[in-house]
């Protein structure tokens, strides 16, 4: 497998924007269905009171935010949301819990039951539940979860300024457990936390050098929430955001690159540039985990204007596995 150095990644990230987008488009057309966008629904199944101190997160118990804590939701109430999301066109249902690590016992048994029921509805199931042991990962996979989301968020160096209650290596260990259990990895990060360009390049290096690379890469723009230490952070520069997406697309051509949190603050044009840079997935619905997301109507209208269509993850996989039909014009 190619190992990407920071210098190599910088040389891509710093390309003239015209060439950068062209290279990203080339990778997108070779390895993805260029008209397809995967829509994932998000549901917070256990909200708030999280013991971790992630400085960006409204659900951390360390900060006083608008989030009202809730205990784990029962299977029936999650299923009614899953059904609605399915009807609204979501093809992947991602359940998030504000846990430091997956608990053993009745709560986990209930999550496993819910996973199976959502899978049986015909949607692909993704979970993000915090750190996880290998045996817990194996059980999750057996219950029908195909993907686990666990973000590295930023570079190894900047990480310790953002979170002190766990380490980068803890994160990598959970990602390894997810792989050992045979689930796909969804792993990305956040821009706009005060990180430098070097930190962004560092995150890209960590992601692109994972072996195998993640199947999904969510790129979040920080949702600055009052009460968190990042409540006053300014919105990340749109062009830097687009460069990040395009570089991710070039480095990880087979991954679904997800234009994740922060879309309510983005113009249609910035979202469009992100699609041009290689993003091919979004979160659907008017809420992320706890913060707002553009509603269904707004998103359908935008996709329609752009001539993009909703695709099922299996359709996307088929497209990714196909033989290349476009010649490589620029050398890597
Ligand atoms: N507790 C689990 C964990 O940390 O892995 C799962 C839920 S956690 C909310 C999932 C991801 O959401 C985080 O890793 C982070 O990347 C993202 N996130 C949380 N708060 C955010 C915010 N304010 N803006 C953008 N992304 C955020
Ligand atoms: C990811 O990378 N972004 C999503 C999902 N994975 C779980 C979460 C975004 C959360 C934004 C803040 C909130 O709504 O609480
Ligand atoms: Fe907890 Fe996850 Fe939020 Fe960190 S990002 S405080 S682990 S819910």
Distance CA 189, CA 220 (A): 6
Of 259, 252, 159, nearest to 209 (Cα)? Answer: 252
User: What is the number of the ligand 3 atom nearest to the C-alpha of 130?
Assistant: 7
Structure tokens at 189: 């990060």
- How far apart, in Å, are the Cα atoms of 24 and each of 34, 160, 275, 278? 11, 31, 10, 6
* Ligand 3 pocket by Cβ (under 6 Å): 50, 52, 54, 57, 59-60, 98, 100, 130
Of 37, 28, 90, 25, nearest to 308 (Cα)? Answer: 37
Catalytic residue ranges:
50, 54, 57, 94, 126, 186, 258
User: What's the chain's length in residues?
Assistant: 332
- Per-residue pLDDT for 10 more than 90? yes
The confidence score (pLDDT) of residue 326 equals 30
Distance CA 127, CA 186 (A): 10
The confidence score (pLDDT) of residue 272 equals 96
The Å distance, Cα 3 to ligand 3 centre, comes to 30
The Å distance, Cα 56 to ligand 1 centre, comes to 8
The confidence score (pLDDT) of residue 91 equals 82
Is residue 291 in contact with ligand 2, taking CB distance under 6 Å?
yes
The residue whose CA has the least distance to atom 9 of ligand 2 is 261
- Per-residue pLDDT for 17 more than 80? yes
Segment 270-318, tens digit of pLDDT: 999 999 999 999 988 788 999 998 987 787 889 889 999 887 666 666 6
Q: Three-state SS for 189?
A: strand
Residue 188 sits at φ, ψ, to 5 deg, of -155, -145
Q: How does residue 323 score in pLDDT terms, banded at 50, 70 and 90?
A: very low
Would you say 58 and 292 are in contact if contact means Cβ atoms under 8 Å apart? Answer: no
Distance CA 77, CA 47 (A): 14
Task: State how beta strands 281-284 and 309-310 pair.
Answer: unpaired
The confidence score (pLDDT) of residue 310 equals 80
Which segments of 174-314 are extended strands (E)? Answer: 184-186, 189-191, 216-221, 256-259, 281-284, 309-310
Is residue 47 in contact with ligand 2, taking CB distance under 6 Å?
no
- Average pLDDT in the chain: 90
Residues 246/251/255/258 CA torsion (nearest 10 deg): -30
Q: What's the pTM value of the predicted model, to 2 decimals?
A: 0.90
Q: Three-state SS for 170?
A: helix
Segment 115-124, tens digit of pLDDT: 999 998 888 8
87 φ/ψ sector (left φ>0, alpha ψ -120 to 50, else beta) = alpha
Q: Three-state SS for 291?
A: coil
Residues 4/5/9/15 CA torsion (nearest 10 deg): -120
Structure tokens at 79: 């299923």
Structure tokens at 305: 């204007």
The confidence score (pLDDT) of residue 331 equals 34
Q: How does residue 330 score in pLDDT terms, banded at 50, 70 and 90?
A: very low
Distance CA 210, CA 1 (A): 10
The Å distance, Cα 16 to ligand 1 centre, comes to 32
Instruction: Summarize the confidence of residues 204-223 as an average pLDDT.
Output: 96
- Residue 208 has, within 13 A of its CA and on its CB side, a CA count of 22
Segment 77-125, tens digit of pLDDT: 999 989 888 887 788 899 999 999 999 899 999 999 999 999 988 888 9
Tokens 């196909």 correspond to 322
* Those residues with Cβ within 8 angstroms of residue 118's Cβ, 6 or more apart along the chain or in another chain: 78, 79, 82, 93, 95, 125, 144
Distance CA 119, CA 140 (A): 12
Is residue 75 in contact with ligand 2, taking CB distance under 6 Å?
no
Q: Three-state SS for 256?
A: strand
Distance CA 40, CA 282 (A): 6
Looking at the domain 6-320, which fold is it?
A: TIM Barrel (3.20.20)
């Amino acid at each position: 497998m190619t190992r990407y150095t920071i210098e190599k990644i910088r040389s891509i990230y710093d390309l003239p924007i015209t060439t950068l987008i062209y290279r990203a488009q080339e990778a997108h057309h070779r390895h993805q269905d260029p008209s397809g966008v995967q829509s994932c629904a998000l549901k917070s199944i256990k909200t708030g009171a999280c013991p971790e101190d992630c400085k960006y997160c409204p659900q951390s118990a360390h900060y006083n935010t608008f989030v009202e804590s809730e205990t784990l939701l029962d299977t029936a109430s999650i299923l009614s949301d899953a059904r609605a999301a399915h009807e609204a066109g979501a093809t992947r249902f991602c359940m998030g819990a504000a846990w430091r690590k997956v608990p053993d016992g009745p709560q986990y048994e209930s999550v496993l039951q819910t996973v199976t029921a959502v899978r049986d509805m015909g949607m692909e199931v993704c979970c993000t539940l915090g750190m996880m042991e290998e045996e817990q990962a194996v059980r999750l996979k057996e219950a029908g979860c195909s993907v686990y989301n666990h973000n590295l968020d930023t570079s190894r160096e900047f990480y310790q300024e953002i979170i002190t209650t766990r380490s980068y290596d803890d994160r990598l260990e959970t990602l390894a457990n997810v792989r050992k259990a045979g689930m796909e990895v969804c792993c990305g990060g956040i821009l706009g936390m005060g990180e430098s360009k070097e930190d962004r390049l560092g995150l890209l290096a960590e992601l692109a050098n994972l072996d195998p690379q993640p199947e999904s890469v969510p790129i979040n723009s920080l949702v600055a929430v009052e009460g968190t230490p990042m409540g006053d952070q300014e919105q990340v520069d749109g062009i830097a955001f687009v460069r990040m997406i395009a570089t991710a697309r070039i480095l990880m051509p087979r991954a679904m690159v997800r234009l994740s949190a922060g879309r309510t603050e983005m113009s249609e044009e910035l979202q469009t540039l992100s699609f041009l840079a290689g993003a091919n997935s979004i979160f659907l619905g008017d809420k992320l985990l706890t913060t707002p997301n553009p509603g269904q109507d707004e998103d359908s209208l935008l996709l329609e204007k752009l001539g993009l269509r909703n695709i099922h993850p299996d359709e996307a996989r088929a497209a990714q596995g196909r033989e290349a039909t476009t010649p490589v014009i620029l050398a890597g």
